[in-house]
Each structure stands twice: as structure tokens, then as C-alpha cells.
Amino acid sequence: MSRESVAREKADREDGELAVGESGVDASIEVEYTKPIPRPDAHSQPFFDGSLRGELMLQRCSACGRWMWPVRARCIECFSDDVAWTAASGTGTLYSYTLVHQVFHPGFASEIPYNLAMVDLDEGVRMVTNIVGVSNEELRAGLPVVVEFERISDELALPKFRPAEA
């Protein structure tokens, strides 16, 4: 797919979903996805459905208001089973990170070293992710970040985080 056809497809789309291969970094590059792919189940499907729409979905307890990640059947604060999927702000702070220098899976070989980060979301949960759109040398704890989604197939988009614009 040429850069022009990707741009045309993006411009023609009105449903708000990301196109295959689209992320906030550079949607014009077509790459075969070779990394391990998560397999949504009945419990996690709302998270992945939200990612396809460009929304970071988290569970929130309807009884006490506690935000939760990862997916739970009951609230970790009050033990209520009245939890609902709710769109999160998608903003947070880089809590910590490490640089991975070993090839644990061939899909990551071209990205060595890559970062594996923990982001504290404004909702009070911590998520493991990658920081994109910035060199590893520029990473620092406390960096304000915002979510973006990497579309890896017609059925799946993954949340990544990039530095928030000042």
C-alpha cells in the first residue's frame, strides 16, 4: 500500500476507527506485525474494542468509583461486582522503565534496545506499555504521557504512550 493510498483511506474514513497499520507515530508505513499478539477473551474484549475506537477503556466500580487495571470480576476496593467499562483520560506519567537489550522474541529484534515502561494513569492505575515518539535517551521518570493506539490488524489495536505536548 502506497503512502498516498494510506492517506486517502484515512481521509475517506468517517467511523473514527484507526486503519490497519495506523498509529499516532506514522500511519503511512506498512509493516507486517511479527510480535506476539494478545488474544482478547470475553472479559477483556471491551478493552480491545475501545482500543479500535481510539479509547483507553478501564473498569470502574459503580459502587465506590475505584478504577481498575488489569481486568477484574470484582472491585479491588469494596468487592462489589458492579463494575463497568469506562473511557479513561488516556493521560498519565512515566513511573519507571527499562531498556531491553536481549532478543526474547524475534518480532522485537529490529527494535533492540526497546523500552518497557510502567505508566501511572491519571485515574490511579499503573499500566505496562511502551513509550513511542521519543528516543530512549530522552525517557525519564515523571515524563507526562498520552495514549495513542497502534493498529496491528483489522481486529486489534494496542495502546502505547508518547510524551504529552507541553
Max CA pair span of the chain: 52
Give Cα 108 distance to the centre of its chain. Answer: 17
Contacts of 133 (CB under 8 A, 6+ apart): 24, 25, 148, 162, 163
The mean pLDDT of 19-47, rounded to a whole number, is 71
pLDDT band of residue 25 (cuts 50, 70, 90) is very low
Q: What is the pTM of this model?
A: 0.79
Q: What pLDDT was estimated at residue 166?
A: 57
Cβ atoms < 10 Å from Cβ of 129: 20
Q: What pLDDT was estimated at residue 119?
A: 98
Q: What pLDDT was estimated at residue 10?
A: 42
Q: CA 45, CA 68: separation in Å to the nearest integer?
A: 15
The mean pLDDT of 82-96, rounded to a whole number, is 98
* Per-residue pLDDT tens digits for 130-166: 999 999 999 999 999 999 999 999 999 999 999 998 5
Looking at the predicted structure, is the pLDDT value of residue 8 above 70? no
12: exposed, middle or buried (Cβ count in 10 Å: 0-12, 13-18, 19+): exposed
Looking at the predicted structure, is the pLDDT value of residue 12 above 60? no
* Per-residue pLDDT tens digits for 38-58: 999 999 999 999 999 999 999
Using DSSP's 3-state secondary structure scheme, residue 92 falls into strand
